[in-house]
Each structure stands twice: as C-alpha cells, then as structure tokens.
Amino acid sequence: MIGALIVRDARRSFTGAAWLPVAFFLLVATLIPFAIGPDARLLKLVGPGILWIAALTAALLPIERLIEPDRADGVLDQLALTGLAEESIALCKIIAHWLTFGPLLLIASVPAAALLAMDGSSLGRTEIALAIGTPGLASVAVAIAALTQGLPRAGALAGLLMLPLAVPLLIFAVANASLLEAATSLLLTAGAPFVAGAAIRGART
C-alpha cells in the first residue's frame, strides 16, 4: 500500500499542480532583474538569496492540496482502514510531495540562475543547498497542510506558520553551512511525519 500511495500521489501531482510552484519560482526570478535593474554585479550578489526566497514562497503554493482533498473525500479514512498508520500515510505524502517538488525546482534553478547572472560555482552551491533543503521544506509543507486541514483560508494561515519554520534552513543555506543545513533538514524531515500523523488523527470527526 505504501508504494501504491506514493505512486498515486506523485501521479496526481504531476498531472496538474506540480507545475505551479515551478512556474511561480521562475516568475519570481524573472521579476527581480526588472525590479532592481540589470546590474550584473548586483544581481550576482543577491542571486542565491533571491532563489531561496523564490523557493520558499513556491513551497507554499501546493500546501492546500497536499492533505485537505484526501480528508474531504474520505481517502484518509479508507487508508486508515487498510491498517496503515497515520504516520506512514504522512511519510508517503512527504516522499511523493518531494518527488514532485524538489527535482523540478533543482532543474528550474538553472534558467533562474541565468536570469540572475549567477556564475557556475554560485549556481552549484545553490543547487547543493536546495537539494539538501527541499526535503525539509517538503516535510514542513505536509505537516502544516495536515495541521491546517479543513480550516477556512488555510492557505494564508499555512504561509504564516511555515515561513518561520523555514528560517533556519534559509540562514544555513545562504551561508553555505551545508552540515548545519543538512542537520536542520533532517530534523524537520524526521519530525514531520509524527506531527502530520497526529494532526490527521486529531482532525477526524
């Protein structure tokens, strides 16, 4: 059931919503040169930071569709009846979400870096930082999605809840402190299934 659930979630995402964060990410990267002018030196300086801001905000977009549709349609109930623990369900959703979010973002970073006049080594460092950080971001997104399921205007609330949690990732990522970033990402990824699992159980009516 676990494999089937990951495949199902990834399939549903790729046939629609997965492209939205990527498009948003590229759009932000396109807007920046217009906003601060075409000075290559300045763009290069702010580039990695801008990519991270774009990645963080892009990570907010899918939150509302991660858990809520499955709660409203009874999918979470039926999954529980198959004997799957809520924590396992959450873990599946985290894996499926990262698969449809992380790699696409890493690919989109290449054209985005070109728009921001970043050189190869700067792009390389940002790619590594994104590869380390996106599992943490995906996990937090699923946990927040579970905590806000069923609430009105969950999307706006999710943004307020998620961005502060992503601050440590952001700090370590742009400072090129890979080990600290990896530790933070690991902590978030390890904790999120338990938070999301408890939230799924608690939201049942």
The amino acid that residue 25 corresponds to is: F
Q: Is 15 in the site for other proteins (CB under 8 A)?
A: yes
27 or 204, CB closer to other proteins? 204
Instruction: Give the count of beta carbons closer than 10 Å to the beta carbon of residue 182.
Output: 17
Question: What is the footprint of other proteins within residues 118-157 (CB under 8 A)?
Answer: none
12 or 44, CB closer to other proteins? 12
> Rounded CA gap, 196 and 94, in Å?
10
Binding string, 87-106, against other proteins, x = CB under 8 A? --------------------
Q: Is 3 in the site for other proteins (CB under 8 A)?
A: no
By CB under 8 A, name the one of 78, 111, 124, 167 that touches other proteins. Answer: 78
By CB under 8 A, name the one of 19, 39, 40, 82 that touches other proteins. Answer: 82
> Rounded CA gap, 123 and 109, in Å?
8
By CB under 8 A, name the one of 38, 81, 121, 152 that touches other proteins. Answer: 81
CA separation, residue 168 to residues 60, 125, 174, 179, 188 (Å): 17, 17, 10, 12, 11
By CB under 8 A, name the one of 17, 20, 42, 80 that touches other proteins. Answer: 80
Residue 47 near residue 117 (C-beta atoms within 8 A): yes
> Rounded CA gap, 21 and 24, in Å?
5
3-state secondary structure at position 204: coil
Which residues here bind other proteins, judged by CB under 8 A? Answer: 4, 8, 12, 15, 72-75, 77-78, 80-83, 204
